[in-house]
A and B are shown apart, each in its own frame.
Chain A
Amino acid sequence: MTNNKILQDKLAYDETFSCVQCGYCLPACPTYLAFGKESHSPRGRIQLVKLAAEGKIGFEDLGDSIDCCLGCRACETICPTNVEYGKILDSAIDVLGAFRKSQQSISEKVVRNIVFKKVLPNKKILKIVGTGLRLYQRTKADKVIRKSGVIKQVSPSLATMEQITPRIYKPESRENFQVNSKLKTKTKVAFFTGCIMDTFFARVNDLSMKLLEKAGCEVVLQKEQTCCGALHQHSAEKETAIELAKKNIEVFEQLDCDYIVNAIGGCGAALVEYDHLFEKSDPWFGRAKKFSLKNKDISYILSRMELPITKPLHMRVTYQPSCHLTNVQKIVNEPMELIRKIPGIEFTQMKNQDLCCGSAGIYNIVHHEESMMILDMKMKTVKDVKPHLIITTNPGCHLQMILGVKREGLESTVSVKHLVEVLAEACEVS
């Protein structure tokens, strides 16, 4: 009994009682729609967590169901009784993670340690990765290696992802953003770059800061900022996630800014929920809350400012929102309002626009087959719109949509761009 009590405290057991099992979450859940099983629905997962907390089923019974959740949290948005699914999911990931760590092989421990503790939070290493990738592409080694099929031998999912690695740009010198800009503005914003984003999509970050400035913001970049910790949290590395959060809170506390802005749906979601990482009694809780409230997606800021759009773009466009932007940050209309402001664009929403594309952090690598099932579902609705351009707001979705376009053989007619890239083009910022 006492064991159960401890487990119930660790798992969000009380929260499971808010679920009245009405099933209204089913049509919103991409894994339920793709796999067609109740164990892959939010309602099913909540039931399994509850049963695990009561000791009626084992962790091994919980694994598949929890692992396959994308964490898109569309179920939370649609839930008529406001079940805190994110909390329940995170608790299950943590408990499962602890259970598995006790059973992990040494090599698995070493790899996890390197990826989560050494690579992701380390700007220098990421820079080296970025430079390496850039050289890999510039020397055309990528084409040779792709032909040889060597990566496919190691991991078919990595091979697929390697194919869609976007062209890596060298980040611009950002010295000009280190010092306070001379512009006389009302809004002072700090910019959050992210780690993967700043490796694969450094250009989007560069353009974001320029756009913000052009829209009348004073932009400051804090060099000491680090990874947001979202991937850690979703991979049961909560301790590291907390360390990273503390570091970011400290770094941005030093600034007297109105907002902390990012252009990454997924990281933004982690940042606006930093307070969830701490107990209410923890002195860090208040600091985290204050930090969270300042964090905004770039579309939120830009839609509230005068954006000097000068160039019409004549094309048919659709939009794949980032789940974390929609369901966690609750930024729904701003990106579409910005798209509609651009003259010449014919904007069509795809059916079930809000359904996750299946990218979900590293889901498309670790659950490749499942991810592709979800992506195929998404691409059907994309094709209905016959777009020239798919706009995204998150690097994960961005890569996934590139992959989707490739799988459908549409590379010659459909391109994928971040909202910021499109706005920059319309404002003639480069």
Chain B
Amino acid sequence: MKVTEDILEKLKKTLADPKRFLTSEADLYSFSFDASFGMYKPDVVCQPMSSTEVASIVRIANEYLIPLCPRGRGTSLSGGPLPVHGGIVLDFSLWDTKLVIDEENLIATVSPGVITSHINDAANEFGLMYPPDPSSAHVSTIGGNLAENAGGPRGLKYGVTKNYVLGLEIVTADGKIVRTGGQTIKNVTGYDLTKLIVGSEGTLAIITEATLRLIPKPQASLTAMVLFDDIIDAGSAISKVLVSGIMPSKMEIMDQSSIIAVEEYASLGLPVDVEAILLIELDGHPLAIEDEMQRVKSVCMNVGARSVQVAQDKKEEAELWQARKLVSPAIVKLKPTKISEDATIPRSQIPEMFRRLKLIKEKYNIHLVVFGHAGDGNLHPNIITDQRDKEEMRRVEMAVAEIFKAAIDLGGTLSGEHGIGTMKSAFMEMELGVDGLAMMKSIKEAWDPKNILNPGKIFPVKGQRFELRND
């Protein structure tokens, strides 16, 4: 329904401070995008700072059938917060007022706008840690991370956001404030609504508070850089390390294109003739990881690594990770548009996935580089292009579709950590099947019968195809 002046007036009154009610063209356009593709202008932006404000806004939206799109700081790579059907953008970035660490129970209670890395920083002060570490953690809000079920390099050992959520406070589609889960590690009372809501991308309910599980912070870490002449060997090394009984905290891979790009960009002295670099981080008791690193070394050498270099101190460790950090800026030097995918496969299929990606790269004649969280099968094939080049963009669209298909064929999934949003909804049926998707849809219809909560996400509309457009 059209957002009339009358409705705008009512919405404005829900907020304690009218400054948190935005309607200027500049403001609307500034909230029309995220870090993915597509631009959709909302009718209004509200910046709530309490559950009651959110509930009041939702009740108005429910009454007048206005779409509601929750948004953190817009770092989403899947289009999660985009107001594809206009309506209200609920910007949670100001609501960072609650961050309480309960050290005795190892839990944190947070409001949705709290920056994710701040939770880990606060936990660190008590010798604790909040493990999920999306690369955007220093920018992104916990609310957005919960909605998209964000991951990160540490996912290999510690899992993704959903593994650390004990309870939530939510506002339902009809404006009720409800609590799910609780504060205990064990909690098997009834349906696990908490897990259902985490990763539902704002389509089932709006998260207004979260109770998160913390764990003791590992005492020490060690990092090694392993060079491989053959990327297939790097894939084997990943599997062999894991079956040898060692669980690294991070295992990141860079392919030759990434290495060359970084080297041209920053001259770190990386060897450009190797096909892959594997960065392995171990964490835990200092003596234990010392011993484990010896085993990592011999496993890697046995599968044909050229060399293994272990950082001797924190400075060297930072230098090794610098290479991985520079991949993003280095690759966009070639062309400005970067399409970062997060299709994920079972670890044993990593070598096969590399083979298929190589074929896709050649078939569509595109610039494709691969890096990412190899340890958990969450590769990031990145396509570097220029969105102004319409012809190339069409080839890119076809290549992306084929990457997804390859991942599903190999028993994998469309998304390891970015979510579905607008970017991957066209492929949902391919992974879930008709009935699987219908099952999810029936939940959506039960929770949000009027389809006001973040409409246009996750579920494809009939005949939808994958497009990368910005207008």
- A interface residue numbers (CB < 8 A to B): 17-18, 20-24, 26-27, 36-39, 41, 43-44, 47-48, 51, 56-58, 61-62, 64-65, 80-82
A217 to chain B, nearest CB (A): 33
Give the residues from 20 to 37 in chain B that come closer than 8 angstroms, CB to CB, to chain A: 22, 24-27, 29-35
B50 to chain A, nearest CB (A): 15
* Per-position 1/0 for B127-168, Cβ under 8 A of A: 000000000101110000000000000000000000000000
B386 touches A17 (CB 8 A): yes
Closest to A54 in B: B471
Q: Which of these, A20, A21, A80, contacts B74 with CB under 8 Å?
A: A21
B30 touches A18 (CB 8 A): no
B329 touches A47 (CB 8 A): no
B29 touches A48 (CB 8 A): yes
Q: Given contacts A37-B22, A39-B30, is CB(A22)–CB(B386) below 8 Å?
A: no
B387 to chain A, nearest CB (A): 7
Q: Given contacts A23-B74, A81-B329, is CB(A57)–CB(B25) below 8 Å?
A: yes
B14 CB–A CB distance under 8 Å: no
A24 to B75, alpha carbons, bound, how many Å?
Answer: 8
Known: A20-B35, A58-B25. 11 other contacts (CB 8 A): A17-B336, A20-B332, A22-B75, A24-B139, A36-B94, A38-B31, A38-B91, A39-B24, A44-B26, A57-B29, A81-B329
Q: Given contacts A22-B136, A24-B136, A38-B31, is CB(A81)–CB(B26) below 8 Å?
A: no
B221 CB–A CB distance under 8 Å: no
Q: Which of these, B25, B33, B74, contacts A61 with CB under 8 Å?
A: B25
Q: Which of these, A17, A38, A61, contacts B388 with CB under 8 Å?
A: A17
For B32, list chain A residues within 8 Å (CB). 47
A196 to chain B, nearest CB (A): 32
Closest to A81 in B: B332
B305 to chain A, nearest CB (A): 29
For B47, list chain A residues within 8 Å (CB). 36
A124 to B34, alpha carbons, bound, how many Å?
Answer: 52
Closest to B37 in A: A21
For B93, list chain A residues within 8 Å (CB). 36
For A39, list chain B residues within 8 Å (CB). 24, 26-27, 29-30
In which size bucket is the chain B interface? Answer: 20 to 34
A62 to B25, alpha carbons, bound, how many Å?
Answer: 9
A16 to chain B, nearest CB (A): 9
A-B contact pairs, 17 of them (CB 8 A): A17-B337, A17-B386, A18-B332, A18-B336, A21-B33, A22-B139, A23-B136, A27-B115, A37-B30, A38-B91, A47-B33, A48-B29, A48-B30, A56-B29, A58-B25, A64-B24, A81-B329
B338 CB–A CB distance under 8 Å: yes
* Residue among A22, A24, A51 having the largest count of chain B Cβ atoms under 10 Å: A22
* Residue among A17, A38, A41, A81 having the largest count of chain B Cβ atoms under 10 Å: A38
A391 to B138, alpha carbons, bound, how many Å?
Answer: 28
* Residue among B25, B27, B30 having the largest count of chain A Cβ atoms under 10 Å: B30
A48 to B35, alpha carbons, bound, how many Å?
Answer: 15
B23 to chain A, nearest CB (A): 12
A158 to B75, alpha carbons, bound, how many Å?
Answer: 40
A51 to B39, alpha carbons, bound, how many Å?
Answer: 11
Closest to B36 in A: A21
A89 to chain B, nearest CB (A): 15
B30 touches A38 (CB 8 A): yes
Q: Which of these, B30, B329, B386, contacts A44 with CB under 8 Å?
A: B30
Q: Which of these, B29, B91, B94, B115, contacts A51 with CB under 8 Å?
A: B29
B239 CB–A CB distance under 8 Å: no
A82 to B29, alpha carbons, bound, how many Å?
Answer: 23
B73 CB–A CB distance under 8 Å: yes
B338 touches A20 (CB 8 A): yes
B328 CB–A CB distance under 8 Å: yes
Closest to A39 in B: B30
A22 touches B35 (CB 8 A): yes
A392 to chain B, nearest CB (A): 27
A81 to B334, alpha carbons, bound, how many Å?
Answer: 11
A84 to chain B, nearest CB (A): 12
A37 touches B27 (CB 8 A): yes
For A24, list chain B residues within 8 Å (CB). 136, 138-139
Q: Which of these, A27, A41, A47, A64, contacts B29 with CB under 8 Å?
A: A47
B396 to chain A, nearest CB (A): 15
B90 to chain A, nearest CB (A): 13
Q: Given contacts A36-B94, A61-B25, is CB(A23)–CB(B75) below 8 Å?
A: yes
Q: Which of these, B27, B140, B332, contacts A38 with CB under 8 Å?
A: B27
Q: Which of these, A23, A36, A61, contacts B35 with CB under 8 Å?
A: A23
For A47, list chain B residues within 8 Å (CB). 29-30, 32-33
Closest to B20 in A: A36
Closest to B265 in A: A82
B371 to chain A, nearest CB (A): 14
Q: Which of these, A17, A23, A61, contacts B139 with CB under 8 Å?
A: A23
A56 to B35, alpha carbons, bound, how many Å?
Answer: 20
B26 touches A65 (CB 8 A): yes
* Residue among B29, B31, B388 having the largest count of chain A Cβ atoms under 10 Å: B29
B33 touches A26 (CB 8 A): no
For B25, list chain A residues within 8 Å (CB). 57-58, 61
For A17, list chain B residues within 8 Å (CB). 336-337, 386-388
B328 touches A80 (CB 8 A): yes
Closest to B28 in A: A39
For A21, list chain B residues within 8 Å (CB). 33-35, 74
A46 to chain B, nearest CB (A): 10
B338 to chain A, nearest CB (A): 6
B114 to chain A, nearest CB (A): 13
For A82, list chain B residues within 8 Å (CB). 329, 333
Closest to B27 in A: A39
B352 to chain A, nearest CB (A): 30
For B332, list chain A residues within 8 Å (CB). 18, 20, 81
Q: Which of these, B94, B139, B329, contacts A27 with CB under 8 Å?
A: B139
Closest 5 CB pairs of A and B: A38-B30, A44-B30, A39-B30, A61-B25, A23-B75
